Amino acid sequence: DAKTTQPNSMESNEEEPVHLPCNHSTISGTDYIHWYRQLPSQGPEYVIHGLTSNVNNRMASLAIAEDRKSSTLILHRATLRDAAVYYCILRDPLSEGGGADGLTFGKGTHLIIQP
Partner 1 sequence: KAGVTQTPRYLIKTRGQQVTLSCSPISGHRSVSWYQQTPGQGLQFLFEYFSETQRNKGNFPGRFSGRQFSNSRSEMNVSTLELGDSALYLCASSLDRVYNEQFFGPGTRLTVL
| 75-94: contacts with partner 1 (CB under 8 A) | 87, 91, 93
Closest CB 15 distance from partner 1, rounded Å: 28
Give min distance, CB of 106 to partner 1, in A.
7
d(CA 46, CA 57): 11
Binder to partner 1 among 45, 52, 69, 80 (CB under 8 A)? Answer: 45
Using CB under 8 A, which of 49, 55, 61, 110 touches partner 1?
A: 49
Cα–Cα distance between 58 and 31 in angstroms, integer? 23
- Single residue of 7, 63, 106, 110 touching partner 1 by CB under 8 A: 106
Report the C-alpha gap between 2 and 104 in whole angstroms.
Answer: 9
**DSSP-derived 3-state class of residue 82:** helix
How far is Cα of residue 62 from the mean position of the Cα atoms in its chain? 8
